[in-house]
Amino acid sequence: MGLLIFGCFGKGCGPRRGGGWYYPSTTANIPLPVLVNWHGSGFVVSFLGSNALFCSRIAQRASIIVVDVDYRKSPETPFPGAFNDVEDALLWVASQGQRFDPARIAVSGFSAGGNLALVAATKLRKKLASVLNVSAVIAMYPSTDLATSPGTRTIPKPINPAPPWLFSLFIDCYAPDKGLRKDPAISPLFADPADFPETVALITCEGDGLRPEAQELAEKLKRNSYGARKVFEYVCEGVGHGFDTNAAKGSVEYVAREKLYEVATNIVKDAFRI
């Protein structure tokens, strides 16, 4: 296992293909809050750096550090490979007290990365409670339930849907042992609501087939939080899964992306009391 972070590492680092660190324009000489992000991949495809604009926006507008982190992919490295890499990343963050404010750590992710962010904020948050506290998670169009056959849940108006067989292929590559798929380390829908942090944001897309399982998780948390946490739900209207990565200016996807990044920034600022 090893921490996989690529890209630029100095202050002033801007958006760059390959991931890395993202700093605000000006920083005080004190540890800053940090957001750790995991990209989408279907647990199979390497898209490190695809969230560069998101990471840069959050760093600039929330005045925090954002670290975009890689993880090993399937089928070469199935579960628990990515899970172990997420744990390594959190342990590394915990060791950087001179850089990061240990009281203000949040995680985020897109699609499969959203799954990993939710796992980081539940099972790993609980496991690593003695060394760090993840206070917030923002999961964008995440997969939350790998135990249920793709296509079982439906939506009224799918937009550019991927075929169920493709999702099944990704799941088979990542979690080939079907007996493990309800483990919260694989399917955060089955995590104990008490294990989630103070702030949970589940952001979905109107035309995305993964939307129902994220909504199911949100409803579960709302029923069982008893005021112990803030549960945010936001639906990106008129768009499908992964819409924000190649949004042409002026398009429906562009408008939805700008709103999404604004919403995410405000959630981060609220969680960190900025």
Name the percent of the chain in helix, strand, coil, to the closest 5: 35, 20, 45
Percent of the chain exceeding pLDDT 90 equals: 83
**Across 15-19, 143-147, 171-175, least confident range:** 15-19
| Domain-located, residue 1 | no
**pLDDT band at residue 19 under the 50/70/90 scheme:** low
| Domain-located, residue 6 | no
**pLDDT band at residue 246 under the 50/70/90 scheme:** confident
| Residue range of the domain that includes 185 | 20-272
**pLDDT band at residue 27 under the 50/70/90 scheme:** low
Q: Are 88 and 119 in contact (CB under 8 A)?
A: no
- 152 φ, ψ (degrees, to nearest 5): -65, -45
Q: Is the pLDDT of residue 21 over 50?
A: yes
Q: Is the pLDDT of residue 12 over 60?
A: no
Mean pLDDT of the chain: 91
Distance from C-alpha of 253 to C-alpha of 18, rounded to nearest angstrom = 23
Distance from C-alpha of 80 to C-alpha of 175, rounded to nearest angstrom = 8
User: What's residue 227's pLDDT?
Assistant: 77
Q: How many CB atoms sit inside 10 A of residue 184's CB? A: 16
**The length of the chain, given as a count of residues:** 274
Instruction: Tell me the average pLDDT across 238-243.
Output: 96
Distances (CA, A) of 114 to 140, 176, 231: 6, 20, 15
The residue type of 156 is P
- Side by side, the strands of the sheet bearing 230-236 are 20-22, 65-69, 32-38, 100-110, 134-140, 199-205, 230-236
| Domain-located, residue 136 | yes
**pLDDT band at residue 3 under the 50/70/90 scheme:** very low
Instruction: Tell me the average pLDDT across 114-140.
Output: 97
| Domain-located, residue 43 | yes
Look up the CATH number of the domain holding residue 222.
3.40.50.1820
**pLDDT band at residue 116 under the 50/70/90 scheme:** very high
The distance of Cα 114 from the centroid of its chain, to the nearest Å, equals 3
The DSSP result for 194-254, as a single string, is: GGS-SEEEEEEETT-TTHHHHHHHHHHHHHH-TTSSEEEEEEETT--TTGGGGPPTTSHHH
| Domain-located, residue 111 | yes
Domain count, the chain: 1
Instruction: Tell me the average pLDDT across 99-104.
Output: 90
Model pLDDT for residues 78-89, shown as the tens digit of each residue: 999 999 999 999
What is the torsional sign of CA 107, 108, 113, 116? positive
Distance from C-alpha of 234 to C-alpha of 264, rounded to nearest angstrom = 10
Instruction: Tell me the average pLDDT across 268-274.
Output: 93
Q: Are 105 and 272 in contact (CB under 8 A)?
A: no
| Domain-located, residue 12 | no
| Domain-located, residue 89 | yes
